[in-house]
Amino acid sequence: MATKLTGPTVVGPNLDLTFPRNDPGIQLGSVVWGEEGKAYRYVQFADNVTYAHGHVVTLASVDGTWKVTNDRAGGSDVAGIAVGVVHHPSDLVPAKDSFGWVQVAGVADVLVKGGCAAGDLLVLSSTDGAAAEASYDAMEGLAHADLASFAVALAAIEDNKTGKVLLRGLI
């Protein structure tokens, strides 16, 4: 049975906070449901990079420990598979080795490289932390793009801007 937990106004963990400690306190990979159909996964942020609201994170470990990174250009990204989105306010962003939550379902803000239109499928960009419009030609058709996408743009999003998307397939 799913657990419904939200931010500081409701009993349960504060999903905006990160925890810099040796013991994660909660089982890594745990998923909780928040308000408005949003879900969050508990992870450890692996690389010493800047994490920001709207950054897409990928797995940073093959050992199943739910370590994540937004650093695809030279960091510890292992499979190029989106697993969540940083949702923290700018004053509470995660740091290396801290534990916290990434959003995995519902409407989220996501950084987009190259811009996109409403209804576009989004896949990982080669730019750290960003998504990009799925390229149907390069991915050999809609079926492949659909499988690789982790979100659908809900409105047009300009290049290097954060916009509203509906996350899919991350749970």
Token pair, residue 98, equals 């801290």
* Averaged pLDDT, 33-46: 93
**Cα–Cα distance list, 3 to 116, 118, 157 (Å):** 34, 32, 33
Provide the β-strand partners of residue 4.
33
Q: pLDDT tens digits, residue range 48-100?
A: 888 999 999 999 988 878 999 999 877 787 778 899 999 987 778 888 888 98
What's the whole-number average pLDDT of the chain? 84
**95 touches 87 (CB < 8 A):** no
pLDDT of residue 54: 96
Token pair, residue 13, equals 């963990």
3-state helix, strand, coil in the chain (%, to 5): 10, 35, 60
Residue 90 carries which DSSP code?
Answer: G
pLDDT of residue 154: 98
* Averaged pLDDT, 94-107: 92
Domain boundaries, the chain: 109-167
pLDDT at 8 over 50: no
Cα–Cα distance, 102 to 40 (Å, whole number): 5
The b-or-e profile of 37-59 (16+ CB within 10 A means b, else e) is ebbbbbbbbbbebebebbbbbbb
pLDDT at 139 over 60: no
pLDDT at 44 over 80: yes
- Quote the percentage of the chain above a pLDDT of 70: 82
Provide the β-strand partners of residue 101.
42
* Averaged pLDDT, 147-169: 94
